[in-house]
Amino acid sequence: MKAIIIVMLSLLVVSCKQSKTGESQIKLDGKYSVVDYRMTPEFIHDTVGRDKLMAILKSSTYKFDFSNKNSIVRIDPQFGMEYFGDSVFEYRIEHKFIALRNPDMKVNVPFRNDNGIIRLLIDQKGIEHFSIIPVKRGITNARLVSSSLETRNR
């Protein structure tokens, strides 16, 4: 009986460890769009800030362009300067955050992987997180962003 319990606990520990390490193993390559975001309660009442955010989010079809070859991410310039302080970074994916680095700065962006939807937990300038997904060819995520943003404004 003791042997069975020990074996079952061992299997449970091994399976939990594998799922935990597997959840952080994301691979970012290609273009990603912002499809959702969450505002802080204070930002909801900031109409000027919200209008500025809407203009930035609707300005292009994608916001991030990750290159696996050289580990460089190019962020839409207006979006990057507003929320990350620059628009071109070297990136490295750690267990709980994406490390962004360039000659002028280092930024660690906590993230959560929700079944392929990457939630960047920035928690600054009135935004708690941005959700990004890969841009699909033939499907414009700009429409998805527009409808998501319009729904949020109602």
Q: For the segment 88-127, what is each residue's pLDDT rounded down to a tens digit?
A: 999 999 989 999 999 999 999 999 999 889 999 999 889 9
* Confidence bin at 60 (pLDDT 50/70/90): confident
* The total number of structural domains that make up the chain: 1
Does the pLDDT at position 71 exceed 90? Answer: yes
Give the Cα separation of 30 and 86 in Å (integer): 19
pLDDT at 152 (0 to 100)? 52
In a domain, 88, yes or no: yes
Give the Cα separation of 132 and 98 in Å (integer): 13
- Higher-pLDDT residue of 86, 153: 86
pLDDT at 33 (0 to 100)? 95
Contact by Cβ (8 Å): 73, 100: yes
Close Cβ partners of 16 (under 8 Å, ≥ 6 residues apart): none
Q: For the segment 17-53, what is each residue's pLDDT rounded down to a tens digit?
A: 544 444 457 889 999 999 999 999 888 888 888 888 8
Structure tokens at 142: 């700009």
In a domain, 14, yes or no: no
Query: Of the candidates 123, 121, 105, which has an alpha carbon nearest to the alpha carbon of residue 113?
Result: 121
Q: What is the mean predicted confidence (pLDDT) over 68-85? A: 93
The chain-wide mean pLDDT, for the chain, equals 81
In a domain, 18, yes or no: no
CATH number at residue 98: 2.40.128
pLDDT at 116 (0 to 100)? 86
pLDDT at 59 (0 to 100)? 84
pLDDT at 46 (0 to 100)? 86
Range of the domain at 45: 27-153
In a domain, 62, yes or no: yes
Residue spans of beta strands (DSSP E) within the chain: 30-39, 64-67, 72-75, 88-93, 97-102, 105-114, 117-120, 127-134
Query: Of the candidates 23, 39, 53, which has an alpha carbon nearest to the alpha carbon of residue 126?
Result: 39
